[in-house]
Structure 1
Amino acid sequence: MHLILPAAGSGQRFGAGIPKQHARILHQSLLEWTLAAWQAIPISGHKLLAIAADDSVSRELAASFSDVEVIHGGRERADTVLAALMHLSPRAEPEDWVMVHDVARPCVENKDVEQLLQTCQQTQVGAILARPLTDTIKKIDNHGRVTTLDRSALWAAQTPQCFKVGDLISALEQAKERGLAITDEASAIEAMGWPVNIVTGSERNIKVTHPADAALVEYFLKLDLTT
């Protein structure tokens, strides 16, 4: 199994004036917390961190993690993941599994990753971590009318997302050729008409998007440090 950590974005929604992965939580950066989490998770293959070409800070932060290879990503997430896959492909088999994980999710848990990989290996179908929605979900049309959706079939996608190297390359290349908006790896696979399984992830595996998210992540990290 290989790992790709896309981190070439600017994290504009975080609003801190710096790339989100550089934001400090407790005593180190968000990027360092996530890299440390993956040091505790067995990876038999390659670990690639894909950053912006001018991001010298991330390169320096990653230097402390000798098992992580730093490469340059692209403008959009899909471009970054595809660039990482093309870098990986000469050293990987098309049938190898690769996980793609948000650097902004530092609280990923070993048990969830293990369950995700086991599901993929047993079914030979790619899968993602996700959580069932618990809020009442509303849809607003162009006229401002509100409709309540059936949340029983709705899930919030997390990462990592796990697919075969060859399948993910094909799906991302096809999506790029068709001009599709790809928000995660599963959406590219879905666009090919291929199935995607869901494994229930931890509620701790939240993504830091806004400053309030960082406060919640800090709470979870403090719990881990005191146990």
Structure 2
Amino acid sequence: MTIWPLVVAAGVGSRMQADRPKQYLSLDQRLLIDHTLATLLGYPRFEQLMLVLSAADPYWPASEFASDPRILRVDGGAERCYSVLNGLEALAELAHEDDWVLVHDVARPCLRHSDLDLLLADLQLPGAILASPTRDTMKRGRLAVDGSVEIDHTVERDQLWHALTPQVFPLGLLSRALKQSLADGFVVTDEASAIEHLGLAPKLVAGRADNIKVTRPEDLALAQLFIQQARAVSTTSNNPE
């Protein structure tokens, strides 16, 4: 079974209120993007990686992986789904239609190899995603007449999950699903939603809740804490007393 990681890193991350895309912000003495790439390139089942970057990205040369021959680059699109499609089309020149593609957000630098093990342990059609069961009470909001948001109702949280990445699907199937969704005017929020649009049901694989997406400034501090904790655990396990 051949699996191709595809990392989406073409966004500008405007909600971070920074002077550069969030993937190039410093995180625990390393660029955020380098944490993500190091995790994926350090996983033994991955030999190469497709990286989707903005065509006018001036920051990539600062990455420690900028000259790594294992990384294949392709330009991103106007929206995330188009960036993924660009990556899939580039992979189609190298891979088979039934090869698997593992799509991961560059802004999730806390991914653990143990979660990759779980996700890839028993891959079956149509594919699977990492997800985290919802623990909080969930509320659906509605706009009030004054423009504020009020509670509409409480959502039953049983079998309610936070969708994470990576998400893994066959190359051909994912490409068809994205193209069909876009042709139908369906809003693609993640790769799994495009697969669902075809009437298929991807598998949910329970992953770690600390696989967070860095979206806002406060997320950087939380991501740094999780990375430092993971390093401390690794150091302890490798150096038993």
TM-score range, shorter chain: over 0.9
Partner of 1:76: 79
8 Å CA contact 1:35, 1:65 repeated in 2: no
Shifted more, 145-154 versus 55-64: the winner is 55-64
Match of 2:96 in 1: 93
Of the structure 1 ranges 105-114 and 127-136, higher mean CA displacement relative to structure 2 is found in 105-114
Does 1:175 pair with 2:176? Answer: no
Question: RMSD in angstroms over aligned alpha carbons?
Answer: 1.5
Structure 1 stretches of 4+ with a deviation exceeding 3 A read: 43-46, 141-145
Residue 134 of structure 1: SS of its match in structure 2?
Answer: coil
Structure 2 SS opposite 1:42: coil
Aligned counterpart, 1:214 = 220
Equivalent position SS for 1:49: strand
CA distance in 2, matches of 1:40, 1:90: 24
Q: C-alpha displacement at 1:225, in angstroms?
A: 3.2
Q: How does 1:33-44 map to 2 (within 5 A)?
A: 33-44=35-46
Specify which of 27, 30, 39 is matched with residue 29 of structure 2: 27
The amino acid of 2:134's aligned partner reads: L
Which has the higher Rg, Structure 1 or Structure 2? 2
Question: Do residues 115 (structure 1) and 121 (structure 2) align?
Answer: no
Q: How far apart in 2 are the matches of 1:34 and 1:71?
A: 17
- Cα offset, 1:38, TM superposition: 1.1
Residue 60 of structure 1 deviates from its aligned partner by 4.2
Segments of 5+ residues of structure 1 without an aligned counterpart are: none
Deviations 1:28-56 (A, max 9, x none): 11001111111221234531110000102
1:9-28 paired onto structure 2 within 5 Å: 9-28=11-30
3-state DSSP of counterpart to 1:91 = coil
Any unmatched runs of 5+ in structure 2?
A: 145-149, 236-241
Map of 1:128 onto structure 2 = 129
Distance in 2 of aligned mates of 1:142 and 1:204: 31
Residue 165 of structure 2 is aligned to residue 163 of structure 1: no
Q: TM-score, normalised by structure 2?
A: 0.88
1:177: Cα distance to partner? Answer: 1.1
Higher helix share: 1
CA distance in 2, matches of 1:191, 1:93: 23
* TM-score, scaled relative to structure 1: 0.94
Change (3 A) 1:59 1:80: farther
Matched AA of 1:140? G
Over the matched positions of the two proteins, sequence identity in percent amounts to 39
- 8 Å CA contact retained: 2:85, 2:175: yes
8 Å CA contact 1:119–1:127 kept in 2: the answer is no
CA distance in structure 1 between the aligned counterparts of 2:230 and 2:141, rounded to whole angstroms: 40
- The answer (yes or no) to whether the contact 2:51–2:72 under 8 Å persists in 1 is yes
> Structure 1 residues 84 and 146, CA, compared in 2 at 3 Å: closer, same or farther?
same
Q: Please tell me whether the aligned partners of residues 129 and 159 of structure 1 are also in contact (alpha carbons under 8 angstroms).
A: yes
Range moving further from structure 2, 142-151 or 72-81: 142-151
Give CA deviations for 1:144-173 in whole Å, capped at 9, x if unaligned.
Answer: 452001001210000000000000000011
Residues 5 and 46 in structure 2, CA contact (< 8 A), matched pair in contact too = no
Higher alpha-carbon deviation: 79-88 or 179-188: 179-188
Number of matched pairs = 225
User: Structure 1 residues 55, 44: closer, same or farther in 2, change over 3 A?
Assistant: same
Superposed CA deviations along residues 67-105 of structure 1, whole A, max 9, x for unmatched, are 111211111000000000000012111111110001011
What SS is found at the alignment partner of 1:167? helix
